[in-house]
Structure 1
Amino acid sequence: MRSARTFLPHFMVLAILGGITISTGKIVTTLFALHLGATGWQLGLIGAVESAGMALVTLPAGWLIARYGARRVYFLSSLGPLLLNLVLPWVGFWYAIAAIRAVIGLCIPFRIVSMNSAFLERLADIGHAKAGWYRASQSIGMGLLGPSIALTTVAGDRFVLAYVAVAAGFAALAVYGQWVLPERMAPPPDNTGLLRHARELLRDRDVAESCSVEWLASATQSMFSTFIVAAAIQVHGLGRVEAVQLLTVQGMTNVAALFGLGALCSGLSRRQGYGLSLGLAALSLILLGFANGFFVLALGTVLLCLGSAINHLINMRHLGQRPGGKSQIASLYNLAGMAGNTCGALLGGLISTVVGLGWLYPAWLPCLLIMAGLIAIRSRQLARQAPLAPQHQTVF
């Protein structure tokens, strides 16, 4: 087994390259679909079928990784996107793009859960202060480097070159992953049904609470990022450049917080960490709702990202401490995040139609507090069913 000192740098490089490849593929596909004349709803459908494919196989991905190992599954699941990206520039219809992206969506969760489970397995050796380094590395690739690389490769409508570059990225990742990722590190699962085993895991308070909080944090972040540009322009009178800069602030704050807050969060109890995160999110929503300029909006963005990062760091620390294999836990955790992203955008759209875009963020605050209360109630119910040690007491 590779030592923690050598594992972490190579793992971070793998995460950054993976983020670049996924982000570049998504952006190039959007530009290619527009080049073919796709409409707005057709673009939305292309993204939706890919997301649906990812959600569909996230739970099975954890089971297969537990049985066959992260290294083997990561390699095989990289081959599908490799081959399909070589086909994409030769199709001429938006629905063919949607079909291919749906199949790519079926492959991506196997790669993500392989990475997440490998990181959780090694977190005790790496150190809980670095619990956010995987997500931060992935964010660098997806949010900071990927868009620039995509625009460079596709300049002049060179879509064939762009897709060949994406395919080459998946090929390099498949090979590099064989060197970085471990073989199966825990005994293979028994033959318990997939959904039955997932329900059993969710009866564990640590797992249920972490997944619920991840869902809520992801929903809040998704709601923010989906509507902040429109709100900044239409409600607060900002220009397009300043409005888009808020997304840059979001990305940079997420990366900095995930890299820098690990030591602080390692000294917080679960109750303290979640309470601090909830307070930051509440203050952020108030600032975003009653802001009067770019600075206040940027401050609200920073506070929201800090709260989300603290949630993730607390969750990763506790899931990493849980005994046994991590692949099925990682698949549940990733599925919670995906569901939160979808629900946040949908609920945000519904709320904005009722109260207006200007009141969306203050109106989200009661939803946040109600959901946090429901999570706390469910946590106490699980605690009464299976009492845990004092360090795992409920968080609210």
Structure 2
Amino acid sequence: MVCFTQSSGWESGMRELLLARPFSEKFKFILGFVLLTSFAGLGIGIARLATTLYAVDLHASEFQLGVIASAQSVGILFMSLPVGILIHKYHPMRLFMLGSLLGGVIYAVTPLVRSAEFLIFCTVLVSFCMPLRFISLNSVFMQQLEVLGNARAGWFRGVHMMGFFLLGPVAAAYLIDALHYVGTFLVVAASFLITILLAPLALSSFKSDDRHAPKLEWQEIKSQLLLLKEDLVLRRTSVIEFLNHAVMAFFGFFIVVIAIQSFGFSATVAASLLTLHGAVFVATLFTTGALISYLGHKRFYQVSFGISAVALFVLAIPQWSLGLWIGAVCLAAGLGMLHIVNFTMYAQAGKKHGTGRVSGLTALVGPAGGFFGSFLGGWLGHLFGLQILFLPMGLVFLWLIWFVYDLPSIVEKQAVELNVLPELESEI
């Protein structure tokens, strides 16, 4: 079995090399990464809502909507672990550019055939391109944390989220009204091509040590999966991440459908739900990370579960349109806090097992949860209705409060700043 390990000497040497870089190189990376994540987040944000509204416009059934939503994760489930290994052989910049080119072409042809089946087919194809993008960004970003520090990292995440959650839905609603679906998907394709031009600014700085690079073989992939069996904390964190992405995927895709079909919202107003949700989510990422230093991981987890459970119960209340807005705000706060603490747990696991292996694993667990939440949600929604499904989700989050009960109440000596990566591209 080939293991991905790094000697302490190589880690020390890499750190010294990165910290010794001149200011101009650091500034180039910061500027390049901000521009790259901005366009990446904006393009994905537009595509996310455009896909949902296009499916509604095609009069897709609840089951078809579930298939479309879950199709966004199919390729990611197959590609995440291999891409985490290929990063060290072919360089993140090459893989990112390839994923962006293929994704842009697929999005350009998506609206050319007006059928739910063709939309499902294109969505599946795009899902195979996404790991090439977000895992590449993931790997480069984690390496640069040695230089940038956690405080700046939180702002990079916020920039990506602003495009994904705030600007993307608003731009999608405007573009669909002005350019219809063909023009909107062409804009998405163009945004993917623009990221190809920006990629060298941010991704060329990646340094790979070939001596410790993992190989693309079944034993290596199996070794990543075995981490879940060997590491109790990593396994527990992955269960939480799975459920977190299941709820996030269901809400992100179906809340617009619920708002339009059950409450009579217009597409623009329904998009505003996602925008508000995104605004609170980003604000939570910026402001609540320091609370881990006071509450500890267990208490922070439990507070986030409690807020999320209340939000899900509110969202389940029928014929109360105000509840959608209240629930969207509370769910954003709860899931945002959960995002922070989960990443800090994964970052600790990355130091222990290697960032490449843990990166590939996290890029698998999240999409698996998204696939589960979307597909099962669409199937059950077809039988019982979509909105009522928020109720059992709330009960699951109440159970999670007990699930972390025996987690040690570790309190950070220093405030923990968010240093997470754009893995939410895995939702599209």
TM-score range, shorter chain: 0.7 to 0.9
* Mean CA deviation greater in 253-262 or 154-163: 154-163
Q: Distance in 1 between matches of 2:157 and 2:274?
A: 17
Q: Distance in 2 between matches of 1:248 and 1:337?
A: 22
* Mean CA deviation greater in 251-260 or 84-93: 84-93
Aligned pairs for 1:164-183 within 5 A: 164-181=186-203, 182-183=205-206
TM-score, length-scaled by structure 1: 0.76
Q: What's 1:189 paired with?
A: 214
- The alpha-carbon distance between structure 1 residues 14 and 262, as it changes in their structure 2 partners (threshold 3 A), is farther
- The alpha-carbon distance between structure 1 residues 205 and 12, as it changes in their structure 2 partners (threshold 3 A), is farther
Q: What's 1:364 paired with?
A: 393
Q: Distance in 2 between matches of 1:340 and 1:369?
A: 18
Q: Distance in 2 between matches of 1:161 and 1:357?
A: 30
Query: Is the CA contact (8 Å cut-off) linking 2:312 and 2:393 kept in structure 1?
Result: yes
1:217 to 240, 244, 262: 244
Q: Using the TM superposition, give the Cα deviation of residue 18 of structure 1 relative to its aligned residue in structure 2, in angstroms.
A: 0.7
Q: What's 1:204 paired with?
A: 231
Matched, 1:280 2:307: yes
- The alpha-carbon distance between structure 1 residues 286 and 21, as it changes in their structure 2 partners (threshold 3 A), is closer
Q: What's 1:386 paired with?
A: none
TM-score, length-scaled by structure 2: 0.71
Aligned pairs for 1:57-68 within 5 A: 57-68=79-90
Q: Using the TM superposition, give the Cα deviation of residue 110 of structure 1 relative to its aligned residue in structure 2, in angstroms.
A: 1.3
Structure 2: unaligned runs, 5 residues or longer: 1-17, 413-428
Residue type at the aligned position of 2:189: A
Q: What's 2:330 paired with?
A: 303
Query: Is the CA contact (8 Å cut-off) linking 2:35 and 2:198 kept in structure 1?
Result: no
Q: Distance in 2 between matches of 1:62 and 1:296?
A: 41
The aligned length equals 379
Q: Using the TM superposition, give the Cα deviation of residue 254 of structure 1 relative to its aligned residue in structure 2, in angstroms.
A: 0.9
Give the SS at the match of 2:73.
Answer: helix
RMSD: 4.1
Q: Distance in 2 between matches of 1:153 and 1:222?
A: 23
Q: Distance in 1 between matches of 2:74 and 2:298?
A: 34
Deviations 1:43-88 (A, max 9, x none): 6655544431232212212111133332222122222123444555
Residue type at the aligned position of 1:248: T
Q: Distance in 2 between matches of 1:206 and 1:132?
A: 24
Matched, 1:145 2:174: no
Q: What's 1:261 paired with?
A: 288
Larger RCO: 1 or 2 (CA < 8 Å, sep 6+): 2
Matched, 1:249 2:272: no
Q: Distance in 1 between matches of 2:44 and 2:60?
A: 23
Give the SS at the match of 1:189.
Answer: coil
Deviations 1:221-247 (A, max 9, x none): 344455556777899xx6626766443
Q: What's 2:265 paired with?
A: 240
Q: Distance in 1 between matches of 2:385 and 2:110?
A: 40
Query: Is the CA contact (8 Å cut-off) linking 1:280 and 1:306 kept in structure 2?
Result: yes
% identity of equivalent residues: 30
- The alpha-carbon distance between structure 1 residues 279 and 8, as it changes in their structure 2 partners (threshold 3 A), is farther
